[in-house]
Amino acid sequence: MTTFLFIGKYSSQGVREASARRTQKMLETVMESGGRVASMYALLGVYDLLLVTEFEDVQAAMKASLKLNKSTGISFTTLPAVTVAEFDKMLDESAGAPDWK
């Protein structure tokens, strides 16, 4: 499974319709799309909501993101993520990359 961050920004309608019931429906939408929500956070600042999710592939994550965008009044930016340990491993594996300077 791949980790995806769903970073959301509420529209004025999205704030008016916020509820625990809608949160539950969002969790169900992710599950129905083949994913899992590992954690959710409310935010202060430019963005309002963060979902840390896991999906099998990009297509499943995109499908869930589109469904959530259309049904909640929350505009989500969806980003794939890897742990820093995984990133460090990629750096080590790219050590033999050609120098194009």
Domain ranges of the chain: 2-93
Tens digit of each residue's pLDDT (9 = 90 or more) over 34-82 = 999 999 999 999 999 999 999 999 999 999 999 999 999 899 999 999 9
Q: Say what the pLDDT of residue 40 is.
A: 97
Helical segments of 6-83, H only: 12-16, 20-32, 58-72
Which listed CATH number (3.40.630.40, 3.30.830.10, 3.90.1150.10, 3.30.70.920) goes with 2-93?
Answer: 3.30.70.920
Helix (H) or strand (E) holding 87: helix 84-93
In this structure, are residues 50 and 6 in contact, taking their beta carbons and an 8 Å threshold?
Answer: yes
Q: Which residue has the higher pLDDT, 92 or 43?
A: 43
Confidence (pTM): 0.85
